[in-house]
Amino acid sequence: MLLEEVAEHSQSAGRAEGYHGEILRVGRKFGIASINIFQRGQEVSKTIFDNCKFTCVMMQKTGTSAKYLADKTGIPFARLTGSTSSNTCCKRAKTMKRAR
């Protein structure tokens, strides 16, 4: 399931609510996977970061955004602000909560 402009579905940076929150929290139990696309990490629910198996961060325009995403994802800040040609950094989560 592809979810675009996720900030539009997030009421705050706290827990995701409504159907979007349900998909993020319990979707794996039913075999539902989601790809969440957003432009500013500060505007989306922490549930996305807490429940994602893979994280891919693309170009960040500001150091503030890069630092926020580095803190949330564990991708080193230097990699997010580097001047590589692709400016894309991906990481697999170290641990995942098991679906019950």
For 89, half-sphere exposure in the C-beta direction (CA atoms, 13 angstrom radius) is 18
Using the predicted structure, report yes or no on whether residue 30 has a pLDDT greater than 80. Answer: yes
DSSP code of residue 51: T
**Using 50, 70 and 90 to split pLDDT, how confident is the model at 82?**
low
Instruction: Indicate the average pLDDT of the chain.
Output: 76
Show the tokens assigned to 77: 């800040």
Q: What is the helix (H) or strand (E) element at residue 36, kind and residue range?
A: strand 35-36
**Residues 25, 96: contact at Cβ < 8 Å?**
no
Lowest mean pLDDT among 45-54, 55-64, 84-93: 84-93
Give the side-chain half-sphere CA count within 13 A for 88.
5
Under the banding of pLDDT at 50, 70 and 90, the label for residue 98 is very low
| Residue 87, pLDDT score | 59
Domains of the chain: 2-92 (3.40.50.300)
Going by C-beta distance under 8 Å and a sequence separation of 6 or more, which residues neighbour residue 30?
none
Phi, psi of 55 (to 5 degrees): -130, 130
Model pLDDT, residue 100? 41
